[in-house]
Amino acid sequence: MCAERSEPHDREIVTTRHFAVTRERLFEAWISPARLARWWGPSDFTNTFETFDPRPGGEWRFVMHGPDGTDYENRSIFVEIVHPERIVFDHVSDHRFRVVATFDVEGNGTRLTFRMTFETADEAAKVASTVTETNEQNFDRLEQELGLTD
């Protein structure tokens, strides 16, 4: 059953993509720290996970390593994990936002909706052009992790 989707408001950035895999397989790529570390983030970034505890109240701490050598520390707190339907977490470092990732069966695969809600419309507007592009790169890397592209 597909969840109803509302139109994004000015505090949200929403990225969606259809993946030709079961939602269980797609969800697993999000919940396995080894797999997630391989694909999370924009092109040419790598990750070092310090803590990954996917349960309500659990913490996710990691460092994204940029191709120019810059390190970006990240900290998030999981709010909700509903296997294999939804992952909700609050990103609580630097730009603060809530992520709701939903996994909806659609046709021959799964529709992933990645909804980022920022504290203010100004904060969302500041990062919208960068985040939109990097979310697409993130999904490209996820497709590669799933073996859907070369």
Q: Report yes or no on 20 lying in a domain.
A: yes
- Look at residue 71 and tell me if it is in a domain: yes
Residue 141 resides in a domain: yes
User: pTM for the full model?
Assistant: 0.91
Instruction: State pLDDT tens for residues 60-112.
Output: 999 999 999 999 999 999 999 999 999 999 999 988 999 999 999 999 999 99
- Distance, in Å, from the CA atom of 29 to the CA atom of 3, rounded to the nearest integer, reads 21
Residue 65 located in a structural domain = yes
Q: Does residue 1 sit within a domain?
A: no
Q: Does residue 2 form part of some domain?
A: no
Task: Look at the chain and report how many structural domains it folds into.
Answer: 1
CATH number of the domain enclosing 28: 3.30.530.20
Residue 127 lies in a domain: yes
State how far the Cα of 65 lies from the Cα of 124, in Å rounded to an integer: 23
Rg (CA), the chain: 15
Domain of residue 121 covers 12-145
